[in-house]
Amino acid sequence: MVDDREAKRSLGRTVHDHGAPQIDMLALRAYRLARIQAELKNLDAAAALFAEPNHIRYATGVRNMQPWSMHTSFRTSFVPAEGRAVAFEYGGSEHLASGLETIAEVRPAPPLFYSERNRDTGALDQRVEAWAVEIAELTRAAGGSRLAIDRHVDHFSAMALESAGLELVSAKTALAQAQSIKSREELLCLGASISVAETAIHRLREALEPGMTEIGLWSILESTNAQMGGEYLDTRLLSSGGRTNPWYQEATDRIVRPGDLVALDTDMIGPFGYDADISRTFLTPSNRPTGAQMELYQLAYEQLHHNLELMRPGTTFREMSEKSFILPDKYREQEMAMVWHGVGLYGGWPTVVAKRYLNEFSDDGPVEPGLVLCCEAYVGEVGGAEGVKLEQCAVVTETGASLLTTFPFEEDLLGRQI
């Protein structure tokens, strides 16, 4: 049975002068670094080099212009299999990594966006080559020549690292395994982000009325997150009326009309950088729901809760897929392929698919306590008038699963209106 005890344990985001439990950021960083280093040892890698900002943050706790650094290669972090990291930070911002117990040294980062071959000579950029020699020296000092890299280490930088004598391996699996199981402190960080997201959803629901635009409604999510210490939203997935079908349509200036369904997915990176991923669908007042709207909503609700109950320790991702809810035929063409996914600093591994999408390449692995999954449901017929999107976040416990989300469902769409 899925309960909501974890959701009730969420804490505030500031330090108090009384004896209430706190989020211990030292414990948080120590746990995450240890998880990464344990996986590096499993890979027989002396170290890892991360260029993706969320990987850097997970391993070291350093945050530096996160959204910009996601599309501009200007910083990396060297993480040995034992000991503290070396941060290569953007010139002038080195102080952001100073003073953290996870960091042994801060060095200026080379401009990796210049990492390419000279068209005439075929030579790599000398600044990148010099940096690659630095990384090779650090790797050998860490006890070997095998270096795990994430996918944000670009092709020409990787060539420079290999030219410096390093054996490169992918850090993808190591990162996925490390980040999948959450500590107590991570659950509290997730709870803080979810509290902000649910406040934003409440404000949106209260403000919803005919004449508003989709982008105006979405801006309530964005502004609430910023006001309450959050960071950014990964998407703008909010749609209304006929734009709720099919799913994955981002907010526009469409004007919401009476009786429209409005569906949203927060994808909200809140306080501490953790992802609050919640979906809800609302009915625009002052109309009563139609029979077709209620059918969509009730099927999505049934699908969601059936699949949540499959989150139990001792099973596997593949077994969950095999037992996943099967929608009626007319809705199956547009069902969500991904009905569970991991979440932490972003939506991540594993991706657990609906039964019809299961194949030999699908993610598999054990369902273990501490695994946090978002469970998704979407119901909409091809060519239908509207669709319904719902999503909950839960953590696997020793006996089942416990919800991290608490936002209620719509009683009128469930046919339970008083």
User: Is residue 196 a part of any domain in this protein?
Assistant: yes
Same domain, yes or no: 52 and 190? no
Report helix, strand or coil for 228.
coil
| Of 66-70, 118-122, 227-231, minimum mean pLDDT range | 118-122
Count of the separate structural domains present in the chain? 2
Q: How many helices (H) and strands (E) does the chain have?
A: 12, 18
| Among candidate residues 170, 194, 214, the one where a domain is terminated | 170
The mean predicted confidence, pLDDT, of the chain is 92
Spatial CB neighbours of 101, under 8 Å, sequence gap ≥ 6 = 26, 29, 30, 84
Spatial CB neighbours of 24, under 8 Å, sequence gap ≥ 6 = 185
Spatial CB neighbours of 136, under 8 Å, sequence gap ≥ 6 = 145, 161, 164, 165, 166
Report helix, strand or coil for 21.
coil
- Separation in Å, CA 216 to CA 194, 204, 226, 234: 21, 9, 15, 17
| Among candidate residues 121, 149, 170, the one where a domain is terminated | 170
Could you tell me how far CA 151 lies from the centroid of its own chain? 17
Structure tokens at 160: 């420079």
Residue 348's pLDDT is what? 87
Same domain, yes or no: 162 and 195? no
Q: Tens digits of per-residue pLDDT, 116-142?
A: 655 555 566 788 889 999 999 999 999
Q: What is the pTM of this model?
A: 0.92
Domain span including residue 287: 180-403
Same domain, yes or no: 155 and 202? no
For the domain that residue 353 is a member of, what is the CATH number?
A: 3.90.230.10
Residue 110's pLDDT is what? 79
Same domain, yes or no: 246 and 326? yes
Same domain, yes or no: 105 and 142? yes
User: Is residue 17 a part of any domain in this protein?
Assistant: no
pLDDT above 90 coverage of the chain, percent: 80
